[in-house]
Amino acid sequence: MKNVTLKIIFGIIFILMSINLFSQERTCGMEEYMQEVLQDPVYAKEYQESQRNFNKKLQEYSSQQDLNLRNQVIEIPVAVHFPSANETDRACLEALAQNQINILNADFTATNSDISTWNNSVNFFFPGTAAGAANISFCLATSNHPPGLDSELIEGNPAITIGYNFGNGGSRDSNWAGYLNFVVRDLSVLGFSPLGGNIALGDAVTIDRNAFGSSAAPGCSGSGVFPSAPYNLGRTTTHELGHFFNLRHTFNGDGNGVCGSGGDLIADTPEVANSTYGCPSPIAVASCVTGQPALTMNYMDYVNDACMYMFSVGQINVSEAWIAANLQPFFRPNACQPVEPGFIIASDDTSIFNCPTTSNEAEFSFTYTPVSGFDETTTFSATGLPSGASVNFSPISLSTAGNVTMTIGNLESVLGGIDNITITGTAPTVTETLNVVLNNVCTEVICDPYASAENLGLVVPDPSGGFAGSVTDLITISESVIIESITLNVDISHTWISDLGIYIIPPGATTFPDDAIRLWDNQCGVSVAPGYQNLSITFDDLGANFPGTGGCSNNFTGVYSPDQPLNILSGTDAQGVWELVVFDFFAGDTGTLNNWSIEICSRQPLNVSQFDLNNLSLFPNPNNGTFNVSFMPQSEKVTIDVYDIRGRAILSKTYQSNGRFEDTLTLDNAQSGMYLLSITDGNQKVTKKIIVD
């Protein structure tokens, strides 16, 4: 009895705190959110394209060109995320989410009970406005869930995550692309949404945990999710979803607005200068139109939940045009369809990495989940294995939910390469597959030196005419090498090494000194007795710091970190002309650049050439994503696959060979970096590196 009493007391305290918290006026963070995200040029470009699509569709709607489409109910799959809630409250949270879905379906189709207030006593005050009803339907998705995100996200159950950190705390999560996402978390405002959401990229409407759903549903106080008056009828979500469907506020400002700014740019919602709070009578607030009251009961104003109850026809036209133009093509397929009895095989990852030099087998784990009471025995198999490899499953079959491990063995005798493997689960009435990639191309770091000519004997001259004396020398690296790390060795004789400035200019640099890296900048100071000083040091980011004035000596040697770091070059291509520049900033003595060298360390795939294909030609390489492949095949079938360095498939094509093979391949939207080209010619396979600039 004591525990029950304490729970009741804490529940009352929480409710009182919530009521006190929500005695504040309505707040919406849409405008601040858009100001922030539109600073990103990628987001801004994407937003502009979506608005162009929308304007075209809205014009079609206005000219009645899309009547057939508008007569079809658009079903919108919804997923709801509670990042900080407790799994023990799942039943309560699912009920609250469904309650909010019911509210949205009523509000957007004008079937909400309080629309009668508009129909019976208010509408005649607004002769140019009618209540709009959208031809859409919201559903909590129950099928085709994204795998591996929430252990409780089971086919047949609603798409509700608990404890999943949606978007790493942000408002976009590509794992949930294709859904209308609602994220319920603790906010400083009631809610916010992008103005025109992007379902293809996983945008979300974010609602405070005390404004989601209706108090008619059970509040989930154990998880801090409890709809609280005066925002306890689910209308905050309706308001923010209006923004997601490209609806603006009906007012020009929140206390600082003036007439003449255009309102929400929709003809049948009278322009009004400022937002309205509380619960005013329908004609208490004037609009910017003489004799016309403000449409305060509209969902896109700021009144309390109990006093907002309608969209206009123009607003619904905007919403439907946005949905049709930018959302509907990207809805997750079959997400709202009833789940058929069957099973799912899924994994958090679809790549298998293995290094045959250290292991002769690779393991891959996946889950088996029956749905809708499915209880048939399912047996597992795999195809697409590299020639000579073995495979076994543990267990080999399941009839209840469980984990399965696939072990690919005998890899010590298998040609290195990248193979597409299909795992198949077979039951008497259902077959499902899972595609994974075996990346059997291991990497190692290889360091190659590139040296200047020995005994260069290049004079470092004195300054002249007000300009520093300088000498340069070049090293050309002919092959394409992606830099993992780099060091430089420099050998210079000079009376006063503190007179010198030493720079390295990498390939492709166009401006000095902006594109150059300063290695040595008048270090040491006057520190040694007269006579030539030999500067013979290695510049390495991991080296020691230069000694201060008086800290150097004759024959100055060692490994030192450069004045500016070399790691800025990591990930770039070393191919091209490297230029060393040595300056002498003080007159009275000269010196000699004896020699210098570069050491480039790169991560190289092992086993990249098991066979030499007959007269293989691959050009250009590096390239811009388009390149030519040519060779004389030894079989009737040729397969070409391209993977990124993580083993993800970028391109796959199969050909019937007839004479010399020649084709031009294009990697769509390829980013700069290294890719692996895998050519399979009968039983032969060769993997080559491709560099995309």
Burial of residue 327 (CB within 10 Å: 0-12, 13-18, 19+) is buried
In this predicted structure, what is the pLDDT of residue 480?
85
Residues 6 or more apart whose CB falls under 8 angstroms from that of 106 comprise: 112, 113
- Closest-CA residue to 179 (of 137, 141, 236): 141
Top-confidence range, 74-83, 406-415, 416-425? 74-83
d(CA 140, CA 445): 50
Q: Between 560 and 552, name the one with better pLDDT.
A: 560
Query: Mean pLDDT, to the nearest integer, of 361-370?
Result: 90
Model confidence band, residue 446 (pLDDT cutoffs 50, 70, 90) = confident
Tell me how crowded residue 211 is: count the other CB atoms within 10 A of its CB. Answer: 29
In this predicted structure, what is the pLDDT of residue 364?
92
Query: Mean pLDDT, to the nearest integer, of 621-647?
Result: 84
Query: Mean pLDDT, to the nearest integer, of 660-674?
Result: 85
Model confidence band, residue 399 (pLDDT cutoffs 50, 70, 90) = very high
Query: Mean pLDDT, to the nearest integer, of 215-232?
Result: 87
Top-confidence range, 213-217, 348-352, 392-396, 568-572? 392-396
In this predicted structure, what is the pLDDT of residue 552?
73
Structure tokens, 608: 């990249």
Percent of the chain with pLDDT over 70: 90
Q: Between 363 and 20, name the one with better pLDDT.
A: 363
Does the pLDDT of residue 612 top 70, yes or no? no
Say if CB 89 and CB 220 are below 8 A apart.
Answer: yes
- Closest-CA residue to 156 (of 370, 371, 344, 335): 371
Place of tokens 């139109």: 289
In this predicted structure, what is the pLDDT of residue 17?
36
Which stretch of 52-66, 191-205, 320-334 has the lowest confidence by average pLDDT? 52-66
**Mean pLDDT of all residues belonging to the chain:** 86
DSSP H or E segment with residue 55: helix 41-62
240 classed as catalytic: yes
Say if CB 252 and CB 258 are below 8 A apart.
Answer: yes
Does the pLDDT of residue 337 top 90, yes or no? no
In this predicted structure, what is the pLDDT of residue 354?
65
In this predicted structure, what is the pLDDT of residue 19?
36
DSSP 236: H
Does the pLDDT of residue 356 top 80, yes or no? no
d(CA 519, CA 540): 10
Does the pLDDT of residue 8 top 50, yes or no? no
| Concatenated DSSP letters of 179-206 | SEEEEEE--SSSEE--SS--TTTTBEEE
d(CA 371, CA 678): 38
Place of tokens 């004396």: 469
Which stretch of 18-27, 161-170, 173-182, 410-419 has the lowest confidence by average pLDDT? 18-27
Beta bridge partners of 686: 679
Model confidence band, residue 7 (pLDDT cutoffs 50, 70, 90) = very low
Query: Mean pLDDT, to the nearest integer, of 29-36?
Result: 94
Query: Mean pLDDT, to the nearest integer, of 53-78?
Result: 79
Say if CB 554 and CB 533 are below 8 A apart.
Answer: yes
Domains and CATH numbers, the chain: 25-247+312-330 (3.40.390), 342-439 (2.60.40.2310), 445-604 (2.60.120.260), 608-692 (2.60.40.3080)
Query: Mean pLDDT, to the nearest integer, of 62-88?
Result: 81
Beta bridge partners of 205: 182
Does the pLDDT of residue 23 top 70, yes or no? no
Residue from 32, 36, 240, 340 carrying the catalytic annotation: 240
Place of tokens 């100001």: 35
0.85 exceeded by pTM: no
Structure tokens, 162: 């608990």
In this predicted structure, what is the pLDDT of residue 467?
86
Place of tokens 């309560």: 92
Does the pLDDT of residue 368 top 50, yes or no? yes
Does the pLDDT of residue 645 top 70, yes or no? no
- Closest-CA residue to 403 (of 393, 391, 413): 393
Which tens digits make up the pLDDT trace of 531-551? 447 789 999 999 988 877 666
